[in-house]
Amino acid sequence: MKNTHLVFFFLGAASLAALLLYFSFTTLEEPAGLYAPQPTPDRIILSWSADPATTQSVTWRTDVSVKEAFAEIAPADPSPDFPGRATSVKAATELLVTDNNAAHFHSVTFTGLQPATLYAYRVGSGDHWSEWFHFKTASGEEAPFAFLYFGDAQNDIKSLWSRCIRQAYSTMPDADFLLHAGDLINRANRDEEWGEWFYAGGWIYGMKSNIATPGNHEYGRNVLGGRELSKIWKPTFTFPANGPEGLDETVYYLDYQCTRIISLDTPALYADDDAGEAQAKWLEGVLSNNPNRWTIVTQHHPVYSTARGRDNEEVREAFQPLFEKYGVDLVLQGHDHSYGRGHNLQFGASRKDKGPIYVVSVSGPKMYNLNFEEWMERAASNTQLYQIIKVDGNLLSYEAYTATGQLYDAFELRKRNDGANKFIDRTPKDVPEIISIPERLQLKMEEEEVREYRQRFEEYKARNKGRKDLQVKGLEGAD
Ligand SMILES: [Fe+2]
C-alpha cells in the first residue's frame, strides 16, 4: 500500500469512528425526540375545576404504554409514613397526537377535601410514579392570600422565561396560585414549546394551582384557515367548565377566598364573530350575581394598549362597560410585550377612584415599543417582569418586580363600604422608569419614528409632572 493510500485509509477509518461516536452520543441524549413522553409522569400541573376549598385538579402526561393511571392523596404529614394513609383515584385518560409524538394525558379531580389543609399527592401507575407533591386547599371563608401574575412568556421559554418564573417563586414561595395572562407559548400546537414551558416552571406547577387564559398564540390555524384553540390546551389543564357554550376551559370563573377571578377568551373574538356577544352576556351574569368582595379579570388582549400601533377596540367595546358597571377591581392582561399600569381614561382627574386598574405586563423576552398612551401611569419597556398580588380583607396590594427581583411598581386599593376603591400609589420613588427604546428596535427605526417616540415621551412626562421616578434612562440619545 502506498503512503497516500495509507493516509486515506486512516482518514476514512477515523471519520467513520467519529460518525459512530456522534450518533451514539446523540442517540443517548435524545432517545425519542425532544420532550418525549415516558412511562413516568411529566407535565404535572395543578388547576381548579371546582371549589378551591374542597377540590383540586391535577393533570399529567405519560407515553401511550400507560393505559390506566391513578392519583394518590393523603393529608400531608412530617412523618414519611403518610403514604400508608393515601387513597387512590383513577384518572380520566385521553390520547393526544402532536407534531412531536403521541401521548396520554391524564387528569384527576380530588373532591371532598378539607379547607385550608395541606395535602400530599402523587400520580402514576405500576412501577412509574411521580414524587409526592404538597398543595394547600383554600380556606372556605375570607382569608388573606397572594398570587403571582405573569404576562406573555411566549418566546425562548426555556432559555429566558425560566429565570422569571423561578425568581417569582423565590420572591414569594408562599404564593397560593399562579396566573398566566395568555401567550404561554409562541406556536399553539408545537409540543416542544409546551415542553419548554413545563421545563421552566417544573415542580412549581405541581405545588401551586394555575389559572391561565388563552392568548392569540394559543390559537392556531385549522385546516380551513380559521383560528382554533391549541389542541394541547384542554388536555394540559383542568379548568372550570362554567363558561358559555363552546368556550369551556377558556372562559370561566372561580371564587377564591372572597375574590372572584374571571378568565375571558379575547382571542376567540378574533376567531368567531359571535364570541364577543356570548362572553359579554355570560360576563354580565357572572358579575351581577357576585357575592365576593373583590373581582379580578384576566384576559390576553388589553382594554388599553401599551404598545405602539396597537388597539383592541372589539375587546374594549365588548367588556369594558361591564367592568365599569359592576365594579371590577383589577384587569390583568398581556399581548403588548411591554408594561403599563393605569386607570380608565374617561374619568379624567377624578378617575382614580372609579373603574378597574388595568395592567399589561410581559414576563418573556419578546419586547415591543411603548405608545405612552394617556391611560398609563407607570410604564416599562424592554423589561421582563412578574407581579405579586395580595388580598387581605379590604386591602388589595399589587407589586410588579423585574426579572432580577427588583420592586418596580406598586399600588394599593382600599375598598370602602360603598364598594368603591381608594387608590394609593406605592411606586418606589427611587426606581427610575425604564422607558428607553430597546437598542435592537432603535436600529430598525427611521429617524422620524425616533423623533415621534421622543415626542410621545415628552407628552407623557408633562402629564405626569412632579413624579420623582421619571428620571428616564436611555432617551438622551434618542434624537
Ligand atoms: Fe404575545
d(CA 69, CA 76) in angstroms, rounded, equals 22
pLDDT score of 265 more than 90: yes
What are the φ and ψ backbone dihedral angles of 348, each rounded to 5 degrees? 55, -135
Residue 324, sorted as left (phi over 0), alpha (psi -120 to 50) or beta, turns out to be alpha
**Between these two residues, 478 and 155, which has the higher pLDDT value?**
155
Helix ranges (H only) for 107-258 are 162-171, 191-201, 204-207, 233-236
Centroid of ligand 1 to alpha carbon of 202 (angstroms): 22
Is the CB of residue 259 less than 8 Å from the CB of residue 294? yes
pLDDT band for position 11 (cuts 50, 70, 90)? low
Domains of the chain: total: 3
pLDDT score of 196 more than 90: yes
Centroid of ligand 1 to alpha carbon of 181 (angstroms): 10
Mean pLDDT within 198-222: 97
Asked if residue 93 is part of any domain, the answer here is: yes
In a shared domain, residues 235 and 212: yes
Centroid of ligand 1 to alpha carbon of 153 (angstroms): 8
pLDDT score of 477 more than 90: no
Centroid of ligand 1 to alpha carbon of 215 (angstroms): 7
pLDDT of residue 255: 98
Mean pLDDT of the residues in the chain: 90
Rounded to 5, what percent of the chain is helix, strand, coil? 25, 30, 45
pLDDT of residue 373: 85
Centroid of ligand 1 to alpha carbon of 418 (angstroms): 37
pLDDT band for position 23 (cuts 50, 70, 90)? very low
In a shared domain, residues 119 and 193: no
Choose the final residue of a domain: 83, 113, 136.
Answer: 136
Mean pLDDT within 335-353: 72
In a shared domain, residues 164 and 114: no
Centroid of ligand 1 to alpha carbon of 199 (angstroms): 19
Q: List CB-based neighbours of ion ligand 1 within 5 Å.
A: 152, 154, 183
pLDDT score of 37 more than 70: yes
% residues pLDDT > 70 (the chain): 88
**Between these two residues, 460 and 277, which has the higher pLDDT value?**
277
pLDDT band for position 324 (cuts 50, 70, 90)? very high
Asked if residue 14 is part of any domain, the answer here is: no
pLDDT of residue 262: 98
Strand order in the sheet with 357-360: 252-256, 259-263, 294-298, 330-333, 357-360, 339-342, 376-380
Centroid of ligand 1 to alpha carbon of 18 (angstroms): 43
Q: What digits encode the pLDDT tens for the residues 428-476?
A: 999 999 987 777 777 888 888 888 888 888 888 888 776 655 555 444 4
d(CA 314, CA 300) in angstroms, rounded, equals 13
pLDDT score of 20 more than 90: no
Asked if residue 25 is part of any domain, the answer here is: no
pLDDT band for position 8 (cuts 50, 70, 90)? low
Question: What DSSP state is assigned to residue 72?
Answer: E
Domain of residue 116, residue span: 42-136
Helix ranges (H only) for 272-426 are 275-288, 313-325
In a shared domain, residues 176 and 245: yes
Centroid of ligand 1 to alpha carbon of 297 (angstroms): 18
Centroid of ligand 1 to alpha carbon of 401 (angstroms): 19
In a shared domain, residues 275 and 296: yes
d(CA 436, CA 446) in angstroms, rounded, equals 16
Centroid of ligand 1 to alpha carbon of 378 (angstroms): 20
Centroid of ligand 1 to alpha carbon of 106 (angstroms): 28
Within 10 angstroms of residue 46's Cβ, the number of other Cβ atoms is: 22
pLDDT score of 178 more than 90: yes
Centroid of ligand 1 to alpha carbon of 183 (angstroms): 5
pLDDT score of 61 more than 60: yes
In a shared domain, residues 360 and 264: yes
Centroid of ligand 1 to alpha carbon of 355 (angstroms): 25
Centroid of ligand 1 to alpha carbon of 445 (angstroms): 21
**Between these two residues, 225 and 201, which has the higher pLDDT value?**
201
d(CA 109, CA 57) in angstroms, rounded, equals 4
Q: What digits encode the pLDDT tens for the residues 416-434?
A: 988 889 999 999 999 999 9
Specify the pTM: 0.90
Q: What digits encode the pLDDT tens for the residues 242-258?
A: 999 999 999 999 999 99
Centroid of ligand 1 to alpha carbon of 358 (angstroms): 17
Centroid of ligand 1 to alpha carbon of 185 (angstroms): 8
Centroid of ligand 1 to alpha carbon of 22 (angstroms): 38
In a shared domain, residues 105 and 149: no
In a shared domain, residues 130 and 161: no
> What's the distance, CA 54 to chain centroid?
24
In a shared domain, residues 130 and 151: no
In a shared domain, residues 210 and 338: yes
Mean pLDDT within 127-135: 98
**Between these two residues, 430 and 354, which has the higher pLDDT value?**
430
pLDDT band for position 354 (cuts 50, 70, 90)? low
Instruction: Return the CATH number at 217.
Output: 3.60.21.10
Centroid of ligand 1 to alpha carbon of 182 (angstroms): 7
pLDDT of residue 478: 36
d(CA 365, CA 396) in angstroms, rounded, equals 28
pLDDT band for position 371 (cuts 50, 70, 90)? confident
pLDDT of residue 474: 46
d(CA 420, CA 412) in angstroms, rounded, equals 13
In a shared domain, residues 240 and 384: yes
Q: What number of residues does the chain have?
A: 479
pLDDT score of 70 more than 70: yes
